Structure 1
Amino acid sequence: MVLIVQVSEADNSLPLDIHNHVFQLVEKGNQAFIESRFEEAISNYSKANSVKPLDPVVLTNRSAAYIRFGQYLKQRSASISEYRPLNGFDTSMLSELALKDADKVTNIQSSSVKSYITKACALMLLERYEAARDTILSGLQIDPFSDPLRSNLQELEKVMLPTSTSKTHGKTERFDDFDCTVCLKLLPIMPLFSPCYYILCCLFDALWNIGNKCPLCRTVIFMTPRTCAVSVTLNNIIQKNFPDEYAERKSEQDTLVHLGNESMPLFVIDVIISCQKLSLHIFEPRYRLMVRRIMEGNHRMGMVALDSATGSPVDVACEVEITECDPLPDGRFVLELESHRRCRIVKAWDQDGYRVAEVEWVTDLPPQSDQEKADLRELTTSAASFARAWLERAKEAARHGGWI
């Protein structure tokens, strides 16, 4: 639970006209927050903060807006993203911004319970549950009867309970030395060394989401899974001492990267025909993550169009292979693709914001009559003309940093 704070109309620290301006900005932000227009709310709070920096009310409300926006993105389905793509926003970034504002408020007003509530919510969104629990307990020392803090503590204990009850006796005690410093999970098979000497498991997830920068020191990194250094010794230590968790993490990674011969991630865009070559500009965070996983696997995905009548993907897709993958400094990609065989979608589901489908392959029958051959040639010529025009638009858009 996050709360917004109403700004007081009486403030003698600023000239009246400036105070009124700040008051109006905060009121506009509060109204946008209530109506779930979070980008507008954040914009108004940021304007108010530029006029009156380090104001606890402004920072608290902006932190709450970041949190609610992050929660909204975390629950946003892939089908919604296909109609209204959001470029540049992801839950981790918003959570970090919320935590930064909440820390400032806690330093300014250490006796304010609301600052502890906001900080705890930001930490929970980042899945830093132990730190969130410590923050809530610190707030309860100030106000032991705070209902919001008690509510957050109960919610947090429900999340932490499965983790605490799953621990069994008789196993090697695991320390934080074997955890990824970003996601705080056990390092999986093949722990990765970044060029700046951090050991991570989600290095490429971070690179694809924050623009080819190390998630810890922000060093610019240009690398691929095939060129990344691997700690074989650390991998052997983890496998020997924590076999159950190792097997679980290996299964998790294999499920995300190697979907099997009859399952593939889907990119929803337009009609693609077999043997077609095209370029693609990838800019959405969910598709950047999808491409990273594809490049770790078999370099293949499905491309499917939307049905204009129903608004859902059509039943038939086309398998494409990524022949070239060029990363851009800000995390976007320019891909060169070649399409192969067609497939029919049997079942589809959402995975981390993008679609994954179970497919069955379609066997095309050759034309039997001269009329069928003529119709097929005409259709192929028309499709090829459309594809060439679409390819030129895609290349032009990629050169100018946009999309089609």
Structure 2
Amino acid sequence: RSGKNARSSHTSLILVREKTQVGGLASDDDNEEGEREQPSSSLHPRLIWPFSLPTSFAAAISQFQPEPAPLSGVDSMAEAAVSGPSDAGFDEPEEFPPVDDSEMGVPPEVRAKLFDLMRRGNRAFREGRFEEAVVCYSKAQLLKPGDPVILTNRSAALCRVSRFLRSRPASASEYEPLNGPDPTTHAGLALKDAEKVMTFRRNSAKSYYLKANALILLERYEEARETLMSGLQVDPLCQALQNSLRELDSFSSSLNKKPKHGKPERTDDFECTVCFKLLYEPVTTPCGHSFCRYCLLQSMDHGNKCPMCRTVLFISPRTYPTSVTLKNIIEKNFPEEYAERKAEHENLTNLGIDIMPLFVMDVVLPFQKLSLNIFEPRYRLMVRRIMEGNHRMGMVGMDSATGSIADFACEVEISECEPLSDGRFYLEVQGRRRFRILQSWDQDGYRVAEVEWIRDIYPLEGTTEREILEQTVREAAEQTRGWIRGTNEPAIGRRPRWELVQPDAMPGPEDPERFSFWLANLVNLRPSEKLDLLRLRDTHQRISRVRNFLGAEGSGCIIQ
């Protein structure tokens, strides 16, 4: 490539195999004696660095020597990592240790060639011909796969190649274009070799040093710092690791001190046109308007049209994806206001232990099960918020005596929630605890109340009243079991109640309050009668009333 603005062309990765180039950068003496060596899995597969000219990096530098360009922050850090202060032999290639032929792990006829490749690779490394060194180390790796000495030297040479390509000025490409992998690819290969070395030399400080150098070249500074810290645990006095860590911390602190770009000004583009607040969980419609997800859901409860332009929307906001990019921009540039919007939403979904959303419909008793079809827009909104919270709400009926909502009600838990395609919800709920409404108010169209939880007041242990209560529970339980066993045929015009009740489902006498409400659910009671039972805090009196209802209906009792 040529041209005044040409960049270095080393970014192309050639995955081919030439007969004179095997496993590394091209070299003038790769084709000695016509040998053909095949790459294996131990080498990075078929990575070739073919240059348009046979000139090496060192020759390229000697032929063209422009003024060195100032290093960027990343380049200066890489320079410090690769060529900074070193420890004993860390910047020098390693030699094979003196061992017997039997300990080398290679045949005698291969040993001479292996040592020759290592000698040539180390000489090229010391003379700055790092691409030639990589070729020699790669060929040696084919002869003795997985050797830590070969991998160590090749990792160091690949780091030097990556460093040279980083610092090479763009104008050099006009005179000496290079083809081959980019600096990041070289650094990645160096990292792989360094990680293999660490599997053999876990207690060697140099292996941590090599891995940290490769990570710095890849701009993975946090991982590089962790690697250097791990190496200092192995060798706390290693000067090379200490210097590299010092340089890395200094570089990281300088990055933090760089002036930041100004944040975008808060405009209407970041506001929801329904609630006129900062967008929270933004959703962008096909017509191009953005709203808070929950605002759009609430709007579509009343009609499937865009709140802004009234375009018909054939989408389901419940499953429509959040605009991740817009959300990240808002969360990053307006963190405090976004946190306030998040807290505001959480306050609506988690009201607290004494605040209860109310579904005004009917009086429900504890442990009663029923199905609900939610279709009103206000209650759709309420159910969505409940399902993001604790799945519980209060069910309250109207008091016929006052004409307003009753002062006692029951908490129900949603055990199943099925959203329907038209926006309705099908719910399965079960009664849990009683409460008394202290005060209530409107919130987004539905009622919310401050409540006081109610439980029965039991007589003290050992008193006559407690004995009477326990005796009443035992008699009622035995009487109920007899009714269940004795009722086999339905009453005229009714479904038999006892077909739906099994004796095993009856609560034990150790919990009289639970037993009393279980017994009350066997009877078809009017709302006013249920409300009276909710208000009672005397278990004995409640059981007596329910037994009177059961005696009145006899074997024809049915579920309401």
Give the TM-score taking structure 2 as reference length: 0.34
Larger RCO (CA within 8 A; separation ≥ 6): 1
Hey, which of these two has a bigger chunk of strand by percent?
1
Give the TM-score taking structure 1 as reference length: 0.46
- Structure possessing the higher radius of gyration over alpha carbons: 2
